[in-house]
Amino acid sequence: MPALRDVGFEDLAEASGLLDPETFRRVRHVVSENDRVLQTVELLDTLGPAAIGPLLDASHASMRDDFEISCAELDLAVETARAAGAIGARMTGGGFGGSAIALTPAASAQQVRSAVELAFARAGYAAPEIFSVSPAAGAMRLS
């Protein structure tokens, strides 16, 4: 393969025999994350945002377990958001701390927010900064 982006699921079995276990987990994350991005685009076009929850969850698990870039606070935020009614959740940004995003029905937003705040307080973590965002078109040239 000329580049990691050219490795597909069908190549993972071969890669597992060629790479040390840690490198293989990193490769598996990249390959599976690329596939999840393509699936997300398709689902957003066909079924809408409510259909991508499992992909968000799988992405977080892969970043946590295969790429090992999550942390206890992010894992707690994601797990708590899901348990409190989020459709899906994952860490976002560069990893090793930072942010999580939870796709949440508007009617459940306050419930999810309160659950995450309570979970952080119970765990002895600093209070999280939680804010709502709305999806928008990506960056584009205007003129």
Q: Which of 140, 114, 112, 139 is nearest to 127 (CA)?
A: 114
Q: What is the 3-state secondary structure (H, E, C) of 34-61?
A: HHHHHHHHHHHHHCCHHHHHHHHHHHHH
> pLDDT by residue (tens digit) across 53-89?
999 999 999 999 999 999 999 999 999 999 999 999 9
Tokens encoding 126: 């600093």
Residues with Cβ within 8 Å of residue 69, at least 6 apart in sequence: 63, 91, 94, 95, 96
Read off the pLDDT band of 1 (50, 70, 90).
low
Residue 98 counted as domain residue: yes
pTM summary value: 0.89
Residue 45 counted as domain residue: yes
Domain containing residue 80: CATH number? 3.30.70.890
Domain span including residue 96: 4-123
> pLDDT by residue (tens digit) across 15-61?
888 889 999 999 999 999 999 999 999 999 999 999 999 999 999 99
